Amino acid sequence: MSAVEALVDLLAGRRDPGSLAPRDWDGVISVARAEALLATLACRLEDAVLPPSVAALFADQRAAAAVGQAQALWEAEMARRSLDPAGVEFVLLKGTAYAAAGLACAAGRQIGDLDILVPWHDLGRAENLALIDGWEWLKQDDYDDAYYRDHMHELPPLIHKDRDRMIDVHHTILPRTHRITPDALALVGDAIRTPGGFRVLNPADMACHCAAHMLADGDLQGGLRNLWDFHRLTAEFAAADRGFWGKLDARAEMHGLEKPVHRAARLARDLYGAKLPSGWNRIKPGDERYQRRLLARDDWGRATDPLLQQIFYIRSHWLRMPPLMLARHLWTKWRKGRAAI
């Protein structure tokens, strides 16, 4: 059994950690680190009997994740103090949202940048307020800046000059040039409030965004973590609301995301043992390739299967923009790359 399969089995609860030989942990720890899942695994196995050094390392990881979440929530608070007084309503996305909403998948989840969603008509004001309050443009060239503004679903990344933390201000959840155009106004309009007073996407939209981010936007790097998010989110929402899967279906259809959402659910079933209702429980031959891509790591934590990775990389660009635009974009990037040499 490979380390990445052992990791998936441990997360899914299919495998007794006591059955691992001491040296099997080397690979599990390296792969979990590479997939940003080490603290998640540490939380998952908090009560398990582990080799002492693994238990100590996992305790470190849990403590570090708790600090990371406190810091991420503080960034959210900073954004609130900047945007709220001006009446710019924003919705937290991804890791910070999961932590703010106290969801199960937040346990041990690594949180990088602060991701927020604002309505399109407030984007300019949000940008100005951020600049006034100490966020700055990350240094980049004019092409990248224009590319973000014209084609992406977020502003060019901003970093805070004192706290050194990035904020991504989104106005929708997929690039503007993407073949799929989710209903951004509905995402903001139907957002819900956490007990702490932050806005987050409603459960069905949150799962839609998670699936879109994993399967429609990128090349599936870090996909095991995103899939874990999706699995834990849907399991938790379905446990609280028997009608959840139906609502998710309706909402995914409205956003044009039914394919990625259904695929995410099937992958969560195949890898993490998710229980799906009948309409969802299908077999699609294409899934196998996605599974292989998600599991493409060796026992040293290295990415394997470069050809498959390349295919997914090309696919991500293909989805993101029309062919002519893609050709122009790649041509510009290539010329820039050559000029740099």
Which of 14, 16, 48, 71 touches other proteins (CB under 8 A)? 71
Nearer to other proteins, 250 or 303 (CB): 303
> Which residue is it, tokens 């305790």?
59
Q: How far apart are CA 132 and CA 135, in angstroms?
A: 7
Stretch that binds other proteins, among 41-49, 58-66, 250-258, 328-336 (CB under 8 A): 58-66
Binding-site member from 6, 8, 11, 34 for other proteins (CB under 8 A): 34
**Distance of alpha carbon 160 from alpha carbon 158, whole angstroms:** 7
By CB under 8 A, is residue 336 in contact with other proteins?
no
Stretch that binds other proteins, among 63-71, 130-138, 227-235, 255-263 (CB under 8 A): 63-71
Measured distance CA(326)–CA(208) in Å, rounded? 26
Among positions 280-309, residues that touch other proteins (CB under 8 A) are: 300-302
- What's the chain's Rg over C-alpha atoms? 20
Q: Which is nearer to other proteins, 68 or 182 (CB)?
A: 68
Helix residue ranges per DSSP H, the chain: 3-12, 24-34, 38-44, 52-83, 94-100, 123-132, 142-151, 184-189, 203-211, 223-240, 244-255, 258-272, 287-294, 306-320, 323-340
Out of 1, 48, 63, 104, the residue judged to bind other proteins by CB under 8 A: 63
From 59-67, 168-176, 209-217, 240-248, give the range in contact with other proteins by CB under 8 A. 59-67
Span interacting with other proteins, options 20-28, 130-138, 197-205, 329-337, rule CB under 8 A: 20-28
78/132 Cα distance (integer angstroms): 13
**Please, which residue, 95 or 260, has the CB nearer to other proteins?**
95
Query: Is 125 within 8 Å of 136 (Cβ atoms)?
Result: no
Which residues are at the interface with other proteins (CB under 8 A)?
22-23, 25-26, 29-30, 33-34, 51, 53-54, 56-57, 60-61, 63-64, 67-68, 70-71, 300-302
